Structure 1
Amino acid sequence: MIALCAAHTVGLGHCNKFANRINGPGNSVDPTLNKNYAAQLMSTCLANANSAVFLDPVTPGAFDNQYYKNLQQGLGLFSSDEVLYTDTRSRPLVDLWAQSSPAFEQAFVEAITKMGRIGVKTGSSGNIRQDCRACN
């Protein structure tokens, strides 16, 4: 799963999906966020709450191991991203894949191949979610 999270190296995140990180209780900012990055996000999102930002602010158009380097620098957009670095159980893999693009690529290929072997549920045994974060 940690390797599959690197899919967040491409694409966009909408402000309402991470607003709690830049405008928490008492207007607090998530302390795991890089301060400059948090200021950029606040500037974009407070100006227009319907805005979207790149998931990877460094190499937004490339599928690469920059995602893991970003996590090390507090540039994980979603809490689910940043926890991969703040949790001591997953940090060693983040560090390894940030340092070695070939190691990351191999791990991602293995993980996506395994995921491709998961049987697709259809009909009454499946559920296509309207929002990936919640059951319908």
Structure 2
Amino acid sequence: MYSQTTRDIVVTVKPFFLDDQSSPADNHYVWAYRVRIENRGSRTVQLINRHWIITDGIGRVQEVKGPGVVGEQPVLRPGDGYEYTSGTPLPTPSGIMHGTYEMKDEGGESFDIVIPAFSLDSPHDHPSVN
């Protein structure tokens, strides 16, 4: 698992390879990732937007921006947590993802929290030592 804390908001990500949805012969590899967001602060916050940066195994970058996550803009009171699962396909057997969530606190202040970089690894990758 990968974890990052920004302004008392903890984001934890656990990626996993979906072999049954992948087709290595067609250069199609699919991962799911479970995200948990915990508000360890003293103010209520709402997740407004997401910004993902997805890099495949040969360095091609794709950015994904939009409102909320999985169709929701969850409100997290102090002590609350929120979990969701999403996924991404890649044309390579490995990659990396990271990004930010735009949050808004109860006073109307917007701020970004870090989504930790996490590795997308498949059993079809053949890593080399440099």
Same fold (TM over 0.5): no
Higher helix share: 1
Q: TM-score, normalised by structure 1?
A: 0.27
Higher strand share: 2
Q: TM-score, normalised by structure 2?
A: 0.28
